[in-house]
Structure 1
């Protein structure tokens, strides 16, 4: 009887492994399907964008404007372009989440195969934490990719459209009619300058080397001064005279939280004023708060695929990895306050 039960157990273990493998395969296939859909959204968006740009150029030349303006009959195309961008973002997020889940299943199955046991709660938490670290890196890369698309890439795209406009204007011009090319060339130069400024900002954002050399406060002061010079946002910084030395990861976390908060205040909240406060609490922790006067939102209704949602999630995960915590207070029309608490490291 005991032999029969042992054989039955082995059979159930085999069935469990088979079920996990099948689930891995099914979810991976779903992830690939979503990935193809993401690519289709992006390709369709590129076609719509090209059609919209052609209409804008043609309309501008027909009406004799000195630069490219939006054609009245492109409203639907612009709305379609925005919907395709949003759909591509949602699909991309879903694809990433599906493959993250496949990774967790795969690690669990391999442990089951080698040790004969599935991960317990602590081991599962460790797997989830490792996955979260990788996911946070990927989220940040995707955020920068989107910023580059909306910033310098858009500036360069506008410059290309402007050059096409100038080329056609020159070809259509004659000796009796002034060619509106010089005005457009000036606009193109301005667009390229904006793109160059954005690229320089991205380089600093990607690798804030000042943290190691000059510490957290000096780096934040420099970053906020740079932010003020390139964006129409009034940013105030209030800090203590001396901040005890944090670990490198803690300083990087504080910098990234401020960076992400300012980004959200500018792009999503449409704030005009932001206050950044750094303080020491009870000699045991440092607090960093970022408060804006933007339009606010309902924190409970923000998900990872909504605009700004992945950034908030990334801030919380970063803080947890260095023993800290992030809280978000906001409501529609009342602005937003991001609060970071980090434990001080005592020697």
Structure 2
């Protein structure tokens, strides 16, 4: 039984999908007005926790208590009826309704003493404007078409809907990234106001500056398991990052902390740039002298942002290098220990099979050995994905041939491969990056292209660059290709490829072909000498 002053209690909360525990044995309490921060990497169980607390899913095991009573949250409507409001990462709004109707959906304000239950539009408009102003949004958002809203505007409408009648617990599952920097600060102010009104808030965010700014306690999740539950004032960002990444190695922790801190600075600088540009436009004709000063300041800020972008790129390059090294070590351990042990057991079972006279036992041993062989085959595929052994032994050309052959066998899509015989060996980081780029490119073709044929070529140019071309005869993309839009829509295939190309100081073009399908044209400066030299 939870304490009398405990608003929310979670006991051994567990959610299992098949054999995978997305969340395991989580227990904590939440006091009235307390702000709890939830942090962790992707796959740590954060969103699973929010789905369980909001009634989207039911736990496999465990209990949830609210105000001293056990509750079963079978649906979001049940959670709302108990005073639990939720804003998810990707909020859903009714596009056939107006913005005002979305904000007050199911909570309309009725006119007093009306013959029929009629909504009090004037009072609803006033409350909605107050909320939008508190979130830094313009009043005219109320009159916008719901179907035409941007991702940021949809998030603001969802936040307003949860805040219009906040109940007792407000769950915010990473709502900040889609908001501008100014509106992020506004939302943090709203969270503090709710806390002052004894409304508890559970906030998930990847920005530790936000977490440390408003929370009373922090819950750290790692691979579905709670690893730390501490008071915010009694811990540090470095300690939290060590728990998030599961390591206290300086080489792993320092770049992550540096990226967290500088991402926050970059947001501030971007907001300053936006404000400076607005001021510049407004005063361009009236104050010529001030304009020159603003232009100079804008130039300095752009240069500072460029330096920061280069530093962030270097940090990302180090993180990718460390990740590849860890994948290589894991593949080696799997091959040298687990696979070899399994093969040894299989050999022992084979000897036992030869010594066994009884037919049923021999058949059972044969089944066990077949199972072990299948596991060994799967583990070898895992090792190959973690670190293609062909790259280390024979170089990029051989690894690409093996990748193209295996991919073609698995998908049934024909691959026409053309590799420059004079390609030679490249530095390990370049070979690995080009291999990952082609892995992701072929993966995109399999998922989205509906193609029957792929052409893949690697060649050197007279200026010593490496040119990679990947094209298919699939359905292509009808609308103009915009990587920024893909990133906002969380289509990370082409975005991830472009980031790797950028880290190699290369260029990438995505062309729509006249006969259908897409072509990736990538050119990467190479460190080896020109063919003509």
Query: How far apart in 2 are the matches of 1:46 and 1:198?
Result: 34
| 2:403 matches 1:223 | yes
- Secondary structure of the residue aligned to 1:287 is strand
1:207 counterpart residue number = 387
| 2:243 matches 1:243 | no
Cα contact 2:39–2:205 (8 A) shared by 1: no
Deviation by residue 1:129-156 (Cα, 9 ceiling, x = unmatched): 145447868999xxxxxxxxxxxxxxxx
Structure 1 unaligned runs (5+)? 1-28, 51-85, 110-117, 141-188
The alpha-carbon distance between structure 1 residues 239 and 326, as it changes in their structure 2 partners (threshold 3 A), is same
- Provide the alpha-carbon RMSD of the alignment: 4.8
The alpha-carbon distance between structure 1 residues 30 and 284, as it changes in their structure 2 partners (threshold 3 A), is farther
1:162 counterpart residue number = none
2:48 counterpart residue number = 39
Q: What is the aligned counterpart of 2:455 among 260, 275, 280?
A: 275
How much has 1:344 moved relative to structure 2? 2.4
How much has 1:265 moved relative to structure 2? 0.2
1:13-52 aligned at under 5 Å gives the runs 38-39=47-48, 47=57
The alpha-carbon distance between structure 1 residues 233 and 305, as it changes in their structure 2 partners (threshold 3 A), is farther
- Secondary structure of the residue aligned to 1:303 is helix
| 2:501 matches 1:293 | no
Cα contact 1:295–1:333 (8 A) shared by 2: no
The alpha-carbon distance between structure 1 residues 131 and 252, as it changes in their structure 2 partners (threshold 3 A), is same
Tell me the TM-score normalized by structure 2: 0.35
Cα contact 2:37–2:205 (8 A) shared by 1: no
Higher share in helix: 1
| 2:507 matches 1:325 | yes
Query: How far apart in 2 are the matches of 1:237 and 1:271?
Result: 16
The alpha-carbon distance between structure 1 residues 37 and 345, as it changes in their structure 2 partners (threshold 3 A), is closer
- Larger relative contact order (Cα-Cα within 8 Å, sequence gap ≥ 6): 1
2:313 counterpart residue number = 129
How much has 1:275 moved relative to structure 2? 0.8
The alpha-carbon distance between structure 1 residues 120 and 31, as it changes in their structure 2 partners (threshold 3 A), is farther
How much has 1:251 moved relative to structure 2? 1.1
Runs of 4 or more above 4 Å deviation: 29-33, 40-48, 90-102, 105-109, 134-140, 195-200
Cα contact 1:257–1:315 (8 A) shared by 2: yes
| 2:486 matches 1:303 | yes
1:336 counterpart residue number = 518
- Secondary structure of the residue aligned to 1:334 is coil
Work out the number of aligned pairs and report it: 225
- Secondary structure of the residue aligned to 1:120 is helix
2:27 counterpart residue number = none
The alpha-carbon distance between structure 1 residues 280 and 134, as it changes in their structure 2 partners (threshold 3 A), is closer
Deviation by residue 1:47-101 (Cα, 9 ceiling, x = unmatched): 59x9xxxxxxxxxxxxxxxxxxxxxxxxxxxxxxxxxxx959x978958875698
Cα contact 1:235–1:275 (8 A) shared by 2: yes
How much has 1:224 moved relative to structure 2? 1.3
1:103 counterpart residue number = 261
Cα contact 1:328–1:339 (8 A) shared by 2: yes
Query: How far apart in 2 are the matches of 1:123 and 1:220?
Result: 35
1:92-171 aligned at under 5 Å gives the runs 94=177, 102-105=260-263, 120-130=304-314, 132-133=316-317
Cα contact 1:280–1:287 (8 A) shared by 2: yes
